[in-house]
Structure 1
Amino acid sequence: MDASRHTPGLARPSRRVWNPATGRFDAVPSATAGRSVRPAKAAKLARLPSSPMPAASARQALASFEKTISLALGSLQPPEVQKVHAVVARDVLARHLATVKDNPPAVTTIVDGRRDALEDAVKPYGLIRYEFSYPSMIREAAAFALKEVRRLSPRQSGKYRDAWFVMADGAPVSGPDAIPPTAKRVVVTNDEPYSRRLEVGKDAAGLPFVVKVPPLFTERAAVATRRRHGQRVTVSYSFVRLQGGKARRGELTYPAIIIERR
């Protein structure tokens, strides 16, 4: 969401459209993009979508949202202009968040290009932008990764396949649906002590570790997750250290699929 004021004599595109590839609203040309707007008339504020981003896979088309409001400034001049700008921006954000209580997004405030700045710091006729990351994005990616890595795992007894679990910002959770709305980093991993040997296909001596599935199955699951959800979240493959719990934790590294908000 952008809450922006046109600079006199300098026209800015006034249309903001949701871009599923970047997870944000992008400016695109509109019928009024070539016109300047004088301060005494109105400030164009690009509003938030009237509903949250659809919970659909990245391969599906996501609808674009656009709605604008005009703020009459009359004879206001700086610093009153910045004060009104900040108040209206917060109000628009609050109204939007009230409509998405069941799926609240993580909100990043960007003021004149500065991330995590306060709205009050906006320059005269500057730009206030809100970027959203909905929990459904990272939860869906984690659910897919967990299902895929279990499908590809060795299943002689089922113990190893069932040992995969999810961590959100370093803390174990009961499953993808339990990932907190504010989580920024999710790890899908397996803490069985022989997990690394299964993944690389070799034992500690470098000799072949014979299993009935090809090695690097976690990496293949990460690749599949990136193909499915990579337009909305960042997906990577790595070996991680774990603390506490089973013996020798902290001494070993374990294969993992890492999912992060963009």
Structure 2
Amino acid sequence: MAGVDFFERDLKLATADLEPEAINAMLAKFAKNSVREVISSGRASGTYERYVNGRQGVPEETVQAPGPIIYEFSLWEPIITFALDELRRRSPIKSGRFRGSFIVLANQREVRDYNAIGPDAEVIITNFQPYVRKAENGLLGAKRYSIFDGTKRALASRFGNEGRNAAAFMFETRWLDVRAGVHPGMPYVLKRAQGRRKDRQAGMQITYPAVVINQV
């Protein structure tokens, strides 16, 4: 707390003889320089939302002291990388094909630049192989529900509300319908019936187990 007190005292002394417009300009310049520094140092993503006096997206120069100016950075890259590593680690290893078939969707579109994903996006990680359901159900060597559901639990422990990360994320396991056009191999259509369930008859599209991530 002492450091904060000294900073506030120095700020008051530095702006004591300035007009309000000059104080606003100084605050805007300080904010812009600070965000540029943390991005260039690699400590934060270049994707962020800016709030100035509670208004989203307006320029720093519109600030009215004492502000605040808040930057909400995208934290997707480390979370998605962790999820993919965990999914691959838990996957069957017979040929390696399944391990190489995970895809990341943001708002129903495949993405590879995770830092470009906005903070309000819903991120889905699934696998485009037609036997993905068998894998999650424990029929291909991995334990039942250990791939996607196990990864969800690992994510919640590392990055969720009870984790050490400052941001809070919600992690779910869902079985999803995937529309045509998302990926060339999806959705897979059953060529013959698999049991008596209505959703497993010939001509039906399969559902895909997935880890679904939202920032809250």
TM-score after normalising by structure 2:
0.64
Distance (Å, rounded) in 2 between the aligned partners of 1:92 and 1:170: 38
Q: 1:207-218 counterparts in 2 under 5 A?
A: 210-217=139-146, 218=148
Q: Which runs of 5+ in 2 are unaligned?
A: 190-204
CA separation of 1:235 and 1:249: change in aligned 2, threshold 3 A: farther
Q: 1:221 deviation in Å?
A: 0.7
Q: 1:94 deviation in Å?
A: 2.0
Aligned to 1:74: 17
Whether contact under 8 Å (2:50, 2:72) holds in the other structure is no
Aligned to 2:94: 156
Whether contact under 8 Å (1:169, 1:183) holds in the other structure is no
Aligned to 1:253: 207
SS in structure 2 of the partner of residue 127 of structure 1:
coil
Q: 1:212 deviation in Å?
A: 2.5
2:44 maps to 1:101: no
Aligned to 1:228: 158
Whether contact under 8 Å (1:242, 1:249) holds in the other structure is no
2:134 maps to 1:180: no
Whether contact under 8 Å (2:48, 2:118) holds in the other structure is no
Distance (Å, rounded) in 1 between the aligned partners of 2:210 and 2:33: 39
Whether contact under 8 Å (2:51, 2:69) holds in the other structure is yes
SS in structure 1 of the partner of residue 40 of structure 2:
coil
Whether contact under 8 Å (1:110, 1:117) holds in the other structure is yes
Equivalent pairs, count: 185
Q: 1:111 deviation in Å?
A: 3.6
CA separation of 1:92 and 1:120: change in aligned 2, threshold 3 A: closer
Identity of aligned residues (%): 19
Aligned to 2:126: 189
CA separation of 1:189 and 1:233: change in aligned 2, threshold 3 A: farther
CA separation of 1:120 and 1:183: change in aligned 2, threshold 3 A: closer
Q: 1:51-73 CA deviation, whole Å, 9 max, x = no partner?
A: xxxxxxxxxxxxxxxxx634425
Q: 1:5-54 CA deviation, whole Å, 9 max, x = no partner?
A: xxxxxxxx9976xxxxxxxxxxxxx589xxxxxxxxxxx59xxxxxxxxx
Q: 1:91 deviation in Å?
A: 0.8
RMSD of the TM alignment (CA)? 3.6
SS in structure 2 of the partner of residue 69 of structure 1:
helix
Q: 1:87-142 CA deviation, whole Å, 9 max, x = no partner?
A: 2232112212332325344333334444445556655x5532313425xx422221
Bigger shift: 186-195 or 252-261?
252-261
TM-score after normalising by structure 1:
0.55
Give 1 or 2: higher helix fraction.
2
